[in-house]
A and B are shown apart, each in its own frame.
Chain A
Amino acid sequence: MKADADIAGAEDQQSAAGRLITPSGIEIPLVATPAMHADHREQPGEYPYTRGIFADGYRGRLWTMRQYSGFGTAEESNRRYRFLLEQGQTGLSVAFDLPTQCGYDPVDPMAAQEVGKVGVSVSSLRDMEILFEGIDLSRISVSFTINGTAAIIYAMYLAAADKAGVPRRKLTGTIQNDILKEYVARGTWIFPVRPSMRLVADSILFANEQTPRFNPISIAGAHMRDAGCTAVEEAAYTLSNALAYVDELRARGAELDSFAPRLSFFFYVHTDFFEEVCKFRAARRIWARLMKERYGAKDAKSWMFRFGVVCGGASLTAAQPYNNVVRVAIEAMAAVMGGAQSIFTAALDEAYQIPTEQTAEIALRTQQVIAYESGIAHSVDPLGGSHYVEYLTDRMEEEITRVMADIERSGGMINAIERGIIQRRIAQRARERKIQTDNGARIVVGVNRFRREHEEEWTGEVFRPNPDAARSVVERYRALRAQRDNRAVERCLSELGAAAANERHNLMPLLIKCCHSYATVGEMVAALKRLWGEFEEPTGL
């Protein structure tokens, strides 16, 4: 990769010749001129959508303000959701604890120390019902950050809606359901790649028929980015993963235009403002061209690259945490200038704890100030036409396309993931980034520059998880297993196991049936593991 050479150069961003490059290694001109970019005449809402997928930008519809949240028991998370909705948040985003994400019930020895810690524990339909008590699922869109057990949690959400009397077609929201990037960066994989791809396809095909307003996948670059790759690589890996899903669905016989309009994306925004804005402009253009010209999609909706973002993550620091409010504000502005459909702004204490109610509120207010005071959402693609922005968009498009072509030449994304190639490349990037931070080539305010002599780490409120959460989760779990019709559960689980053996069988209806019987996440995962086994992680560095 050319970027490899560039990154070596990035260690000294300000070389003697005064040459500057972006974090992805693209040269930054002192002054950009019209000669440095193609002559772009397109308007917002026009193919290939560089300037945005909607002609009326945010005037038609503001982005969704969606704060990621969840912890402890379903009751506690339900209280936080109601608080956030009362504060003007317009969608929910559910954070699950690791046992739920990795498919272990709360009593599993692997789960013992992590129940309710980084998110809410949901092991059965009972928890899902409590999680959304008093929240009208036909009106509030809900996003689920869940991957390894995505099909199961999606089934459980549908079962909860069924029980609440909400028609499935009215449900809105998104389930992340992007297993490929879990193998690369986020780590909540369970099954080997091939059966996991089947589950993803099953849920997307099912969603096409049953929940037409609910996005069955959000193809995410965010976690690969936060693990260390550059903005160019983030976009390239994500779009390559997206093509792997498209190929899988087409191999299952699905018509491209029946599912492509439902694919959505999810990215990180870090602090390099222009690179982030241009990443989104470039990604929209690349996706539109791929779908229309290479894959032959006919429906304009299939060409439209829709995405949500998260601002914060690895760009935030534990040192001088109040600086993070400023970082997140810059990042959220980049997301708006880039045309995001939904934004999550991380709280200032994200680098070391679950946000308190106060820091979560500041994070949401940051978006509200941008939306309602700054005026930047009023005109569509307000940076379009800037010579620098058009130049950087063109250059990022070239670089992203080149990284994608490299992956394709070396056998495609699934192959690269199974062999651990992308994983190694990201680890290498993380190492380079660390070296640059340690030696000061990459400036981080409050960390390697402008530090105070005796830094007090945090003077605000400390989030204290409820120490009884795990115990009450386990109590409810045991009570459920004692009360439910265990024979019905067994029947559902064995039907599931039998259907899993037949590749042509869509597992979603059976998963929903299992959920209605109050089978647990761990039981459903175990039934499938017996047949499919587990992913073997390539750990070579």
Chain B
Amino acid sequence: MALRGKKILLGKVGLDGHDAGAKVVALALRDAGAEVIYTGLRKSPEFVARTAVDEDVDAVGLSLLSGAHLELVAETMAQLAQLGRADMKIFVGGTIPKPDRQALLDMGVRGVFTAEMKIADVLDCIERELA
């Protein structure tokens, strides 16, 4: 229950319909005590940013398996900045090739997760960043 009291938004940005990973993480976060809001598929970066601000979440997790992760994560972060929340903690999961993982971290993403990582490691990372 290490994430008790934390509120996390999980968003699918862009058009990709793979939601198994996002849902697995959502269930794991909930088991760890967090309150989870899942946006459902095909949301615009603007929608995700606005929801994150309206719901006053502690972190945003973006799930992308379409190859459009660099562009869509950057856009979501820009939208958050416009809403005055450049400080929002962002995590990214999906099929992210290795060179892009570093690129995302360099953009300010707090953690990048791929399918073969253990869920415990994913939760540890989020917990650390939200501590």
Residues of A within 8 A of B (CB): 98-99, 101-102, 104, 109-114, 117-118, 182, 185-188, 226-228, 317-319, 351-353, 426-428, 430-431, 434-435, 438, 447, 457-458, 462, 465, 537, 539, 541
Contact = CB atoms under 8 A, between A and B. Distances in A.
Contacts of B28: 431, 434
Given A187-B41, A431-B24, A438-B119, 4 more contacts: A111-B15, A182-B17, A226-B20, A352-B97
Contacts, number: 100
Closest 9 CB pairs of A and B: A187-B17, A98-B15, A427-B23, A539-B40, A113-B68, A113-B71, A227-B20, A537-B40, A430-B20
B36 A541 contact: yes
30 contacts: A98-B15, A98-B17, A99-B15, A101-B15, A104-B15, A111-B15, A112-B71, A113-B71, A114-B15, A114-B68, A118-B66, A186-B17, A187-B17, A227-B18, A227-B19, A227-B20, A228-B24, A318-B114, A351-B95, A352-B97, A353-B97, A427-B19, A427-B24, A428-B27, A430-B23, A430-B24, A431-B24, A458-B98, A541-B27, A541-B38
A541 B42 CA distance: 17
B79 interface: no
Contacts of B120: 438
Interface in B7-55: 14-21, 23-24, 26-28, 30, 36, 38-42, 44
Nearest to B17: A187
A113 B24 contact: no
Contact of B116 (A109, A318, A465): A318
Interface of B: 14-21, 23-24, 26-28, 30, 36, 38-42, 44, 66-68, 71-72, 75, 95, 97-98, 114-116, 118-120
A431 B26 CA distance: 10
A539 B39 contact: yes
A102 B23 contact: no
B75 to A, nearest CB: 8
Nearest to B26: A541
Contact of A431 (B17, B27, B39, B118): B27
Most buried by A among B20, B36, B68, B97: B20
Given A109-B44, A434-B24, A114 B97 contact: no
Contact of B30 (A112, A118, A187, A541): A541
B119 to A, nearest CB: 6
A113 B14 contact: yes
Nearest to B39: A539
A447 B20 CA distance: 19
Contacts of A227: 18-20
B17 A188 contact: yes
A430 B118 CA distance: 13
A227 B67 CA distance: 18
A455 B72 CA distance: 29
A276 B31 CA distance: 33
B102 to A, nearest CB: 13
B30 to A, nearest CB: 7
Given A114-B66, A438-B120, A539-B38, A427 B14 contact: no
Nearest to B22: A427
